[in-house]
Amino acid sequence: MRALVTKSTGSWYEVLADDGKTYNCRIKGKFRTRDIKTTNPVAVGDWVDIMVETDIVPHTAIIVQLYERRNYIIRKSINLSKQAQIIAANLDQAFLVVTLASPFTSLGFIDRFLVTAEAYSIPASLIFNKLDLFSDAGLEVLEDYKAIYGALGYPCYEVSALEGTNVGTVGALLRGRTTLMLGHSGVGKSTFINAIHPAAKMKTAAISDWSDKGRHTTTFAEMIRLPDGGRLIDTPGIRELGIIDIEPQELGHFFPEMRERMNDCRFNDCRHINEPGCAVLEALESGAIAPSRYDSYLSIYHGNDTRI
């Protein structure tokens, strides 16, 4: 029977089957031994076939087949024994919740998220949360961020999940769609989900005063079904978003401002680093490409630290 994976705790999965029932599942033994190069062979948002174990424990089943994914968001795993972790699959869109303080979301982290979304053809938006905490200086930084990403065609929304500012506007974007919500711990994902869907009753926690970092309130990936038919995938906060499965020579294709200029480079195999006649470097020099974006390109190209 076909089913949709709605929760992953690592060893067990919760699925919503075609019969309308929810089952707790484990993976068939042979399934794990296949050539799967991720820490999680099954992710929230996956479609699977299950075999119900009616004679053992009620509402339990075994996952026996994984359907081909339409797309997914993936990151380099911190587990060195495996290559990558699939965060969520079969998405209509992905939201990155950004905060400029308590905790700080760097431009580099944003760019890694956007590159990953571009690589798998997932429409991406930036949700700038905690608007209620912004000082005048913070508002100026916000405008700088919006100027960079808005010019590239990425929708940017200003939100205060705590006070409800623009929550309805963003909530309307979730209707009838499967959406991934991603961000550092402490950016307010759980508070935002509670604001748009109080019945979710997501746990929230204060930011640590001494570290200015968030505490994990979401401990596993979970799909939340919204009243209007949308599906929102909440994930534990992440510190790193390492790029994987993107070759250096194709990286520029996932920066829209570089992609539109690459055909104007003198050399077809231009790396956009120090080659003569590089249209990307000329755009950088003229201010048409933001220096922070180019810095992110170089960082990813050279495989540097994933936390920036």
What is the sign, positive or negative, of the torsion defined by CA atoms of 129, 130, 134, 138?
negative
The reported pLDDT for the residue numbered 204 is 58
Q: What is the pLDDT of residue 281?
A: 98
Could you state, in chain order, the average pLDDT of each consecutive group of 10 residues for the chain (308 residues)?
93 93 87 66 95 77 94 80 83 96 92 96 97 89 96 96 92 96 92 87 53 52 91 90 91 98 96 97 98 97 72
- CA–CA separation, 14 vs 59, rounded Å? 10
Q: Please report the pLDDT score of residue 215 as a whole number.
A: 46
Residue 57 has what pLDDT? 64
How many helices (DSSP H) and strands (DSSP E) are in the chain? 8, 13
Q: Where are the alpha helices (DSSP H) in 34-186?
A: 107-119, 136-150, 167-172
Candidates 72, 59, 57; CA nearest to 3 is: 59
The two beta strands, 231-234 and 178-182, are parallel
Beta pairing, strands 93-98 & 84-89: unpaired
Residues composing the chain: 308
Amino acid code (one letter) for 89: A
SS3 100: strand
| C-alpha to C-alpha distance for 277 and 102, rounded to whole angstroms | 43
What confidence score (pLDDT) does residue 14 get? 96
Report which residue type is found at 95.
Answer: F
Beta bridge partners of 232: 179, 224
Contact 125, 113 (CB under 8 A): no
Evaluate whether 112 touches 243 at the Cβ level (below 8 Å). Answer: yes
What pLDDT score was predicted for residue 83?
77
Question: What does the pLDDT read at residue 210?
Answer: 38
Please give the Cα distance from 232 to 178 (Å, whole number).
6
How far is residue 13's CA from residue 134's CA, in Å, rounded to a whole number? 39
Phi, psi (degrees; rounded to nearest 5) at 196:
-90, -20
User: The tokens 């956009």 sit on which residue?
Assistant: 272
State which amino acid sits at residue 289. Answer: I
pLDDT score for 207: 44
| Crossing angle for the helix pair 107-119 and 291-301, to the nearest 10 degrees | 70
